[in-house]
Amino acid sequence: MELLQVDIKRAGYSKDKPVIQAVNFSISKGDLVGLIGPNGAGKSTTIKAILGLLPDVEGEILFGGEHKNYAYIPEQPVFYDELTLWEHLELAAAAYELPKTQFEARAEELLKLFRLQPVKHQLPTSFSKGMQQKVMLILGFLIQPDVFIVDEPFVGLDPRATKDFLALIDMARKQGSGVLMSTHVLDTAEKICNSFVLIASGKSVATGSLAQIRAQSGLPQASLFDCFDQLLGDEE
């Protein structure tokens, strides 16, 4: 079952200056799709288009699945200055309309996993970058959405937190969610993603599994990094 279909003909911040064009891919149950590309290629703009945050989008973006919903985990953490970590979780639970007992059990489980229980009544604005990123992951994983949209999740995470995050992603996929993950960490993406969307100069230049990306790049035994480099060279 397709959980997300993306067919963006053009999108940007004004009609006369499209940032991305011809970006097409889909995500099905259990998929982990890596959205990769150089800085300025259009990855963040693609995510904003999917989330409905751009003023100018021509194309079609369809969410499927049982609930037709998603959880977005941004690269840059966003917090309310006067709310504690626990109060942020309570606010998210209210927005998701989670029953109190379900919310509390899930929140405590995630706080324990990321070792943030001792600071749950402190202000996350005072946390380190890595701790703030963990909070954003906890907020995103409070529910089991059809689709997770994750932007550069590894920034600031220590190895143990990275392992915990990947375990959560794996569990969510086994439960039927799909994941779109934008990342620069190509060696990790190669190991965990089952397909890829390579964006360069505002358009998708290659999509598919690693084997398909290798075929499109003409490098049948290459790493994702080498395919990435070859395909970007073809665009220049």
Structure-token pair, residue 166: 């990947």
**pLDDT for position 235:** 62
Residue 163 has pLDDT above 90, yes or no: yes
Q: Are 93 and 101 in contact (CB under 8 A)?
A: no
Domain boundaries, the chain: 1-69+147-155+178-236
Answer yes or no: is pLDDT of 234 > 60: yes
pLDDT at 79 over 90: yes
Could you tell me which of 221, 43, 219 has the C-alpha nearest to residue 231?
219
Q: What is the pTM of this model?
A: 0.93
String of DSSP letters for 2-14: EEEEEEEEEEESS
What backbone phi and psi angles, to 5 degrees, belong to 225? Answer: -60, -45
What is 1-69+147-155+178-236's CATH number, 3.40.50.300, 3.40.1190.20, 3.30.565.10, 1.10.3720.10? 3.40.50.300
User: What is the longest distance spanned by two Cα atoms in the chain?
Assistant: 55
